[in-house]
């Protein structure tokens, strides 16, 4: 009985498409730009193979900003899908 109530509370998810991909890319770019201005030591830790390609970020900064970008993107995608904009 409780299990069916939990299943009814789960929102429907959006199918992956070009609009969803564009929102995720934009959210990751915003997160990387936010990290560029807020991370105290962006080049700390092990260096990335091509520092210029990654904006001078070290491995921890790249992982941190892209993780934040994906969390931000998931929230934005779910919010836009709930509003009917996607």
**Could you report the per-residue pLDDT of 8-62, keeping only the tens digit for each?**
666 667 889 999 999 999 999 999 999 989 989 888 878 888 777 777 888 999 9
Contacts of 72 (CB under 8 A, 6+ apart): 27, 28, 30, 31
| Dihedral (CA of 31, 78, 19, 86) sign | negative
Global confidence as pTM: 0.79
Structure tokens at 22: 């564009």
Tokens 């992982």: give the residue.
Answer: 63
Which DSSP string corresponds to 16-77?
Answer: P-HHHHHHHHHHHHHHHHHHHHH-S-TT-SSBPSSTTTTTT-BHHHHHHHHHHHHHHHHHHH
pLDDT at residue 1 greater than cutoff 60: no
């Amino acid at each position: 009985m409780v299990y069916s109530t939990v299943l009814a509370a789960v929102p429907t998810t959006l199918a992956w498409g070009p609009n969803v991909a564009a929102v995720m890319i934009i959210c990751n770019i915003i997160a990387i730009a936010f990290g560029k201005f807020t991370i105290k030591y962006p080049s700390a830790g092990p260096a990335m193979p091509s520092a210029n390609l990654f904006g001078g970020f070290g491995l921890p900064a790249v992982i941190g900003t892209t993780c934040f970008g994906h969390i931000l993107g998931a929230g934005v995608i779910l919010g836009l899908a709930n509003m009917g904009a996607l």
